[in-house]
Structure 1
Amino acid sequence: MTTVEQARLVGEGVDRVDGPLKVTGAARYPNDFGFPELAHAALVRSTVAAGRISRLDTRAAQDSPGVLAVITHRNAPTLGRAPDTFLSAPPPPLQDDRILHYGQYVAVVVAGTAEEATAAARRVEAEYESTEPVLDLHDPRAEVLTDPFETDSSRGDAEAALASAEVTFEATYTTAANTNNPLGLFTTVAAWDGDALTVHDSTQWPGGLRAALARVFGVPESGVRVLVPFVGGGFGAGLRVWPHVILAALAARTVDRPVKLVLTRPEMFTGIGHRTATEQRVRIGATRDGRLVALGHESTSTLQMEGDNFEPCASGTAYAYACPNVATRDRQVRLNVTWCNSMRAPGEAQGNFALESAMDELSYELGIDPLELRLRNYAEIHPQLGLPWSSKALRECYEVGAERFGWSRRPPEPGSMREGDWLIGYGLAGVSFFWFQKPCQATATLRADGTALVRSAVTDIGTGTYTVMTQLSAELLGLDLPRVTFELGDTELPPGVVAGGSGLTAGLGSAIHAACRNLVQAFLDTVRDDPTSPLAGCAAGEVSVGRGRIHRTGSPEYGESYTDILAAHGLPELSARGASAPNDPQELGLAPAGAFGARFVEVRVDPELGLLRVARVVSVIDAGRILNEKTATSQIIGGTVGGIGMAMFEDTITDPGSGRIANATFGDYLIPVNADVPDMQVVFVGRPDRFNPIGVKGVGEIGLVGMGAAIANAVHHATGRRIRSLPITIDRLL
């Protein structure tokens, strides 16, 4: 039994509450929904990367069997622009004849069946006045945006400190573009009833999609309903309102019938964004005993021709280490590429690879163990803000990880470990992910049968939100887990936070904490003046909850069940709303901390064949309070697999002449499979964070950060070869 204010909140590794629905096929994803008289849409994409449409002949498509409409820029209505937020939507489609990237939508065909729509779309004839696309970061024609996020930072005098440092190091690192590629093909099902729009969609932010669709179509936001009970994976791909979503709604309004639009796998490569490619220059100045005196980190990343993409890659360096002189710079270069977008661990995935590779290289220059170098420069307080961290157990991550991994057995000389034909290497990386939280609301209801319903308009993209929030609600209300239902994925519910940036658990969990606290208060208010109630006159701080009851703390005999209180007062249920918002660091006197961690990796390299295998990974993570160790561990394992993909396989290849993505299928775009996934050990350390009432920090992003650097550092230890570009492919090892 626990008090409302100081609930234990320690998550047991319970199974997913939505597991039975998923394994039996009863979980309904966007592609599983339909309406009577459902029509289907297919897209026509440009075959050039830059220019204008000179001819568009749709007559053959319009005459094809089952076709209801062919919509192009010539007959599409003028559409509004979505709200300008930190996840701004691309410009509305089919508004003019300009082509900004290969695969841009130039028409949408609507027909009675998906097969009819697809066949007719192939009959649309398009010709272009093409211009030479801008596809290279170093193209002098490219527009360069300096400090686009206003995150560039400076403390001390990095240039002067570099000039006078006893030891200096400088290198340039590059990372390839990656494509999110969730397993579930993104789907939109749209239906109009007058000016009321209902949409099923593969979104990670129902509220953002609702606001955008209302603005685009000029209808009241209250008339737009977005439904997304399950998403077939996201990794950031579902954060924005993509053009195909707008086209599905536009098609439904045009033909006055519900419309379903399902992207093909090649369309997923051009239609829902990708991780930016980067080129990063890192400069370090240090004393001979390994104390950092200067850090400079400059990053250049790709950006599409219109719109923005908030993804600073260098900014994390400003608070990574205790260094008195630091300068970080980010810039973006506009290219004729598909939309750049958040992908798991945006910015930090790329920036950490450069910084932690450079730190490893510096350790060899100084003859200091890579782990010891990091510990000598440990940031006890936030270097930029000068405030104590709300929580930080990175030192413990290093220490526990080194022990579990057996780091002390690592000989310092590269190429000194061997087993048969395989060279063996050990590598590590220190990791972090920035703090992120947005406002969120939730409601909690207790019914006469003793069950509770907790609701918020968020999504569960596979991270375990259904389960974790059911656990949290059950503990805060003192109920058994089966008596609590958590409902999400519907914009009719209280406004929820975006499922991204490792901010959902803190934002939503804090809102649920408030809602459950307020619900218990509502029960106390109900019995406050009831002379027959043992809880009469009690304040929230004087009671505890457990076993479906509220009782005086320390005196469980003086209490009442929720059901008895409702029955005694003739109430079918009681409800309460809760809200959360991020705290002000200056008011709390704390620097908000995201998750921290240490990654230890063993690799094996066959030098004659250029084969690289990851043999084992130990991840030690400080993510504050862990609400469910099983789902949290799953998140770290999944992120680690994604990190292996970024480090060794994934590369969205754009043809340098045409701008076409050359490997837009799973047959050509390489991702890790079971045989590429090694033995993994995940350990959580640390204490509850002080920046939110439930003490969490989120684990969705941190699982990927650091794998690129740890693997590259291990490759160097195994072979003596320093690889500064991801992915690490056979040709780079031979």
Structure 2
Amino acid sequence: MTTVERPRIVGAGTDRVDGPLKVTGAAPYSNDVSLPGMAHAAVARATIASGRITRLDTGPAESAPGVLAVLTHLNAPRLGSGPESLLRTPPPPLQDDRILYYGQYVAVVVADTPEQARAAARRVEVGYERAEPLLDLDDPRAERVADPWGSDASWGDVAAGLARADAVVDASYTTAENTNNPLGLFTTLAAWDGDALTVHDSTQWPVLVRATLARMFGVPEAGVRVLAPYVGGGFGAGLRVWPHVVLAAMAARRTRRPVRLELARPEMFTGIGHRPATAQRVRLGATRDGRLTAIEHESVSTLSIEGDNIEPCASVSTTAYACPNVSTRDQQVRLNIPWTNSMRAPGEAQGNFALESAMDELAYMLGLDPLELRLRNYAEVHPRSGLPWSSKALRECYEVGADRFGWARRGAEPSSMREGDWLVGYGLAGVSYFWYQAPCRARVTVRGDGTAYVRSAVTDIGTGTYTVMTQLSAELLGLEPGRVTFGLGDTGMPPGPQAGGSGLTAALGNAVHAACRALLRAFLDLAGADPASPLAGCGADDVTVTDGRIHRVGEPGRGESYTGILAAHGLEELSADGDSEPRRAEEAGMAPAGPFGARFVEVRVDPELGRLRVARVVSVIDGGLILNEKLARSQIIGGTVGGIGMAMFEETVTDRGTGRIANATLGDYLVPVNADVPDLDVTFVGVPDAYNPVGVKGVGEIGLVGMAAAIANAVFHATGRRIRSVPITIDDLL
């Protein structure tokens, strides 16, 4: 008897399983949730960047209509500190009279309606003792923090490598502060029942919110439940537990009512972090034939006074190219600015701009094709450890991208290509993103009706986690996707890591893989208890699952269904847990590889008006096993648009006299719109990665990396003008 193999589910461009809920408005975001007796909170913010509060008059606010409470540092409860984690939580708010940045919360007002709360918050009167704020990256008074993460690297002799070079690039590059601007305003709804706390939150890390609130309020972690099944975008903004989350819980405990606190757009600019600005210096040495002899990359970035933001920009130069002499160093400068925080492709976005711009400068200095220079310095193995990559298809990215883009049509000289009145430029960048994977746990249950429920306390910030994990679970369990439900966004589920760092798909996918394998073994143990079972004596490697039926490999007739095994043993369901833990590179004998890619960009520049337009973008990405090509392509497209924003539009402008963010609205903070985005060509290459059993790498951030450099390099090719700072403005081009 011949059998027809069921088509593979993984890799298919399946539509989002959460799509119908989202397009019909039925997906419950945190600001959609209402509870009986719910009150509303609003914040009052500091109007200086540095100093102390000397006077607080809350009387006018307390007497305003509908006001239930006004909390300040004078009457707020004393709170504990949050747990130590990869992304440290800001200190609890309203604990002292210090002001560290403009926009810091100085009071929270609770009222019956949001309008009453906001009106009353404007009536809180504050007096200050001002201090001169630190606002400039070059301010000699500012504290410098030198590599607290151990990411600085050095091998070989850089000075000797530069001395023997035939060509040396020595250039400085700057990137502006950017602000995460998810469409959904961050909202927290907190409700207490004795010492039990339930929180609906806009977060990328529900488990961290639970641990933080439990520590701060001194209650058992098991009594705190955090719900975040849908998040209206994050881009890194939801990776920490921000002060407004704590204030919502504080206000709910004081008023003994559920309290919802929704940030306004200007409050999003000061309350949930932003990408730090950087000043970088890159020195490259090379022989006449384009072989790198030395790379030196130094970066200084902004940091808030009490912040702890992990963003080593220079480390991108430790893995990008084969080079015998390398030195990278990162420093941060503490300033009176709101907390800096991860924003899509943290560190890599800024560091890649400097490195890939410098590589382009070196190519022109040597008279080499910029693509050829990168290929001559291709890192076949990890440059520092010498270990083979777990997978790397960057060479194929270059080759496929060059062919799809038509790189061979590029004129070698700057300003040599025109179309009508427009100058035409071609630019490229090689890109990578570091490997990251956190511990994770998942649970899978198969029920008596043959359906499955898989879950983990992670969340989906719009990347498609619901969908790809439904697909993966269905594939591993041998079920159709319609018979699998994936649950997330609830800390009552097994613990999972943050949705960030391009590591969730690997961490969660590996945990789901382990859980499905454990469940298969549990079913085999049940079936094997009956000597007459066709599965007696079988191990997990001896069987496969098709259409809900476990059978011997190559013998589809010898097996039993999930439902049959459960019924035979009087069970309604069977569950199993699975854990994923990242392996050490030395133990694996390979260097864990994140995603790689190549970006090819065509720009048009109007030399009379200084207008810059992106005409074409070709992206070729090595993302390991692609679980859903449709959603992965969407991630690259979204990241590419963000990269266009970084290169041409986005800059968080701080008034150097006061510390106030001067463009804290979407009317003033420029982002790309449809007219700024051309058709985007995305292709995936490569093979499943060997470092994890599922074979994925993650593509959430790689889509942004390299766009700023590729655009700046294309601008140079079009105009002959080297722009070493982003965003590139009309002033730069005139």
Alignment TM-score, normalising by the size of structure 1: 0.99
**Alignment match, 2:4:** none
**Alignment match, 1:53:** 53
Contact kept, 8 Å, 2:10 with 2:475, in 1: the verdict is: no
Shift, 1:160, TM fit: 1.9
**Alignment match, 2:269:** 269
Shift, 1:569, TM fit: 1.2
In structure 2, relative to structure 1, the CA distance for the partners of 1:372 and 1:733 (3 Å cut) is same
Three-state SS of the structure 2 residue aligned to 1:210 is helix
Q: Which amino acid aligns with 1:98?
A: R
Q: How does 1:486-525 map to 2 (within 5 A)?
A: 486-525=486-525
**Alignment match, 2:113:** 113
**Alignment match, 1:561:** 561
Three-state SS of the structure 2 residue aligned to 1:61 is helix
- Encode CA deviations 1:477-520: one digit per residue, 9 max, x unaligned: 00011000000000000001110000000000000000001111
Contact kept, 8 Å, 1:479 with 1:547, in 2: the verdict is: yes
Contact kept, 8 Å, 1:529 with 1:537, in 2: the verdict is: no
Shift, 1:85, TM fit: 1.1
Rounded Cα–Cα distance in structure 2 between residues aligned with 1:542 and 1:9:
22
Shift, 1:162, TM fit: 1.1
Rounded Cα–Cα distance in structure 1 between residues aligned with 2:315 and 2:584:
20
- Encode CA deviations 1:560-600: one digit per residue, 9 max, x unaligned: 11111111111101100000010111011000000000000
**Alignment match, 1:528:** 528
Rounded Cα–Cα distance in structure 2 between residues aligned with 1:258 and 1:33:
11
Shift, 1:9, TM fit: 7.0
Q: Which amino acid aligns with 2:582?
A: P
Shift, 1:533, TM fit: 1.8
Rounded Cα–Cα distance in structure 2 between residues aligned with 1:138 and 1:456:
45
1:612 to 2:612 alignment: yes
1:645 to 2:645 alignment: yes
Contact kept, 8 Å, 2:9 with 2:474, in 1: the verdict is: no
**Alignment match, 1:403:** 403
Q: How does 1:308-347 map to 2 (within 5 A)?
A: 308-347=308-347
1:94 to 2:94 alignment: yes
Rounded Cα–Cα distance in structure 1 between residues aligned with 2:127 and 2:724:
42
Q: Which amino acid aligns with 1:492?
A: G
Contact kept, 8 Å, 2:596 with 2:702, in 1: the verdict is: yes
Contact kept, 8 Å, 1:311 with 1:347, in 2: the verdict is: yes
Three-state SS of the structure 1 residue aligned to 2:61 is helix
Shift, 1:385, TM fit: 1.2
Q: Which amino acid aligns with 2:438?
A: K
Q: Which amino acid aligns with 1:552?
A: R
**Alignment match, 1:4:** none
Rounded Cα–Cα distance in structure 1 between residues aligned with 2:581 and 2:701:
21
Q: How does 1:145-184 map to 2 (within 5 A)?
A: 145-184=145-184
Rounded Cα–Cα distance in structure 1 between residues aligned with 2:368 and 2:12:
41
- Gapped runs of 5+ residues in structure 1? 1-6
- Encode CA deviations 1:542-570: one digit per residue, 9 max, x unaligned: 10111110001000011111111111111
Three-state SS of the structure 2 residue aligned to 1:482 is helix
Rounded Cα–Cα distance in structure 2 between residues aligned with 1:665 and 1:290:
46
Q: Which amino acid aligns with 2:510?
A: S
Rounded Cα–Cα distance in structure 1 between residues aligned with 2:169 and 2:653:
31
**Alignment match, 1:575:** 575
**Alignment match, 2:356:** 356
Identical residues among aligned pairs (%): 75
Q: Which amino acid aligns with 2:555?
A: S
Q: Which amino acid aligns with 1:387?
A: L
1:232 to 2:232 alignment: yes
Q: Which amino acid aligns with 2:718?
A: A
Q: Which amino acid aligns with 1:116?
A: Q
**Alignment match, 1:664:** 664
Contact kept, 8 Å, 2:10 with 2:471, in 1: the verdict is: no
1:588 to 2:588 alignment: yes
Contact kept, 8 Å, 1:91 with 1:307, in 2: the verdict is: no
- Encode CA deviations 1:352-384: one digit per residue, 9 max, x unaligned: 000000000000000000000000000000011
Shift, 1:8, TM fit: 6.3
Alignment TM-score, normalising by the size of structure 2: 0.99
Rounded Cα–Cα distance in structure 1 between residues aligned with 2:433 and 2:9:
23
Three-state SS of the structure 2 residue aligned to 1:204 is coil
Contact kept, 8 Å, 2:617 with 2:679, in 1: the verdict is: yes
**Alignment match, 1:466:** 466
1:695 to 2:695 alignment: yes
Three-state SS of the structure 1 residue aligned to 2:352 is helix
**Alignment match, 1:79:** 79
Q: Which amino acid aligns with 1:679?
A: D
1:305 to 2:305 alignment: yes
Q: Which amino acid aligns with 2:495?
A: P
Q: How does 1:385-464 map to 2 (within 5 A)?
A: 385-464=385-464
**Alignment match, 2:3:** none
- The Cα RMSD (Å) is 1.1
**Alignment match, 2:723:** 723
**Alignment match, 1:296:** 296
**Alignment match, 1:655:** 655
Q: Which amino acid aligns with 2:452?
A: A
Rounded Cα–Cα distance in structure 1 between residues aligned with 2:718 and 2:648:
16
**Alignment match, 1:123:** 123
Q: Which amino acid aligns with 2:540?
A: A
Rounded Cα–Cα distance in structure 1 between residues aligned with 2:9 and 2:731:
50
Contact kept, 8 Å, 1:478 with 1:547, in 2: the verdict is: yes
**Alignment match, 1:3:** none
Shift, 1:307, TM fit: 2.7
Q: How does 1:16-31 map to 2 (within 5 A)?
A: 16-31=16-31
Contact kept, 8 Å, 2:175 with 2:350, in 1: the verdict is: yes
Shift, 1:77, TM fit: 1.1
Three-state SS of the structure 1 residue aligned to 2:710 is helix
Which runs of structure 1 show a deviation greater than 4 angstroms over 4 or more consecutive aligned residues?
A: none
Contact kept, 8 Å, 1:93 with 1:243, in 2: the verdict is: yes
- Encode CA deviations 1:241-286: one digit per residue, 9 max, x unaligned: 0000000000000011100000000000000000000000000111
Shift, 1:67, TM fit: 0.5
Rounded Cα–Cα distance in structure 1 between residues aligned with 2:606 and 2:302:
34
- Encode CA deviations 1:134-155: one digit per residue, 9 max, x unaligned: 0001101100011122100001
Contact kept, 8 Å, 2:307 with 2:340, in 1: the verdict is: no
Three-state SS of the structure 2 residue aligned to 1:453 is strand
Three-state SS of the structure 2 residue aligned to 1:132 is coil
Rounded Cα–Cα distance in structure 2 between residues aligned with 1:315 and 1:632:
26
Three-state SS of the structure 2 residue aligned to 1:355 is helix
Q: How does 1:38-49 map to 2 (within 5 A)?
A: 38-49=38-49
Q: Which amino acid aligns with 1:672?
A: P
Contact kept, 8 Å, 1:10 with 1:625, in 2: the verdict is: no
In structure 2, relative to structure 1, the CA distance for the partners of 1:217 and 1:139 (3 Å cut) is same
Rounded Cα–Cα distance in structure 1 between residues aligned with 2:128 and 2:317:
45
Rounded Cα–Cα distance in structure 1 between residues aligned with 2:67 and 2:82:
29
Q: Which amino acid aligns with 1:604?
A: R
- Encode CA deviations 1:392-431: one digit per residue, 9 max, x unaligned: 0000000000000000000111111111111110000000
- Encode CA deviations 1:199-238: one digit per residue, 9 max, x unaligned: 0000000001110010010111001000001000000000
Q: Which amino acid aligns with 2:527?
A: V
- 155-164 or 332-341, larger mean C-alpha shift: 155-164
Rounded Cα–Cα distance in structure 2 between residues aligned with 1:592 and 1:689:
9
- Encode CA deviations 1:290-333: one digit per residue, 9 max, x unaligned: 00000000000000000300000001101110000000000000
Rounded Cα–Cα distance in structure 1 between residues aligned with 2:419 and 2:408:
19
Rounded Cα–Cα distance in structure 2 between residues aligned with 1:427 and 1:161:
28
Shift, 1:182, TM fit: 0.2
Shift, 1:639, TM fit: 0.2
Rounded Cα–Cα distance in structure 2 between residues aligned with 1:307 and 1:168:
36
Rounded Cα–Cα distance in structure 2 between residues aligned with 1:17 and 1:8:
17
Contact kept, 8 Å, 1:597 with 1:622, in 2: the verdict is: yes
**Alignment match, 1:631:** 631
Shift, 1:169, TM fit: 1.0
- Gapped runs of 5+ residues in structure 2? 1-6
Rounded Cα–Cα distance in structure 2 between residues aligned with 1:349 and 1:478:
40
Rounded Cα–Cα distance in structure 2 between residues aligned with 1:248 and 1:277:
30
